Amino acid sequence: MYIVCVDDEPLAVEDTLAMCRSIYSDVYAKGFCKVDDALEWISSNPIDIALLDIDMPDMNGITMAARIRELKPDTVILFLTAYKEFAYDSFSVHPSGYLLKPVMPQMLKSEIEYAMSSRPKKDIQLIKARTFGNFDLFVKGKQVTFKRSKAKEMMAFLIDRRGMSVTRAEISAVLFEDSLYDHSRQKYLDAIIRSLRDTLREYGIDDLLQMERTGLRIIPEKIECDMYRFYRGDSEAIRSYRGEYMESYSWASLIEADMLSIRNKRSQQ
């Protein structure tokens, strides 16, 4: 879920972003204090919900909502304001909600869920992978719980390979840091693969993993992933990268450095 918050008060923006992130584990929330900056970002990035203040100096929230409707007609508009008197005027842009400050997390969650439930359904990616910072996998917004930490690391490595087939020996070298790939290690690796497949089956995404004669691979087209968007040149993914990639795994350091170099070059242009 992509949420944009716009308020001319920086503290209000930070508070609203913090609420959004506390409500939803897989939300991408972006905040702005200037309307023009927000509209520029919205024009070239995905957005599901706009949380807008109304009384702002550059452009009031109602006018901004109308501009958002022109750019992204399906966007859910929720006004967060300290003033009751704007409620009638706000009807002109057909908002999904009008909340008076201070807004409580449960109140915001209820309004978002009600608004999203009546929104026209569109195709969404079932599986999401978060790789910036620590690795986590989500299915329909629910975080996947792996029974073995090595099974989770194997999934992280396969996602890192972006659909390339990886042999069992290569996986073993990564998971166990080049320890001898003998018979006992092969049996242990088989147990980890079974655990991973069982977990994916439990969440109904077992077709994500392909077992090939020469190795294993995941199907990247089935995943929405911040790292994949980064390498596709998505401007927001590049800006949001802070030099931390799958922090729990030492083997990820090369990609981490490569992505940081790309981001730094992009920022100098």
Helix axes 105-117, 10-23, angle to 10 degrees: 70
Q: What is the pLDDT of residues 172-182, one digit of tens each?
A: 999 998 678 88
Q: What is the pLDDT of residues 47-106, one digit of tens each?
A: 889 999 999 988 999 999 999 988 888 899 999 988 887 777 778 788 888 888 888 999
Task: Compute the average pLDDT of residues 154-179.
Answer: 92
Rounded CA separation 191/105 (Å): 43
Class of domain 2-117: alpha beta
Where in the chain are all domains bearing CATH 1.10.10.10?
Answer: 134-268
Task: Compute the average pLDDT of residues 203-216.
Answer: 89
CATH of domain 134-268: 1.10.10.10
What pLDDT score was predicted for residue 123? 45
Where in the chain are all domains bearing CATH 3.40.50.2300?
Answer: 2-117
pLDDT at 235 over 90: no
Rounded CA separation 95/87 (Å): 10
Q: At 257, list the tokens.
A: 């450095």
pLDDT band at 119 (very low <50, low <70, confident <90, very high): low
What pLDDT score was predicted for residue 250? 93
Q: What is the pLDDT of residues 125-143, one digit of tens each?
A: 589 999 999 999 999 888 9
Q: Which residues pair with 132 in a beta bridge?
A: 245
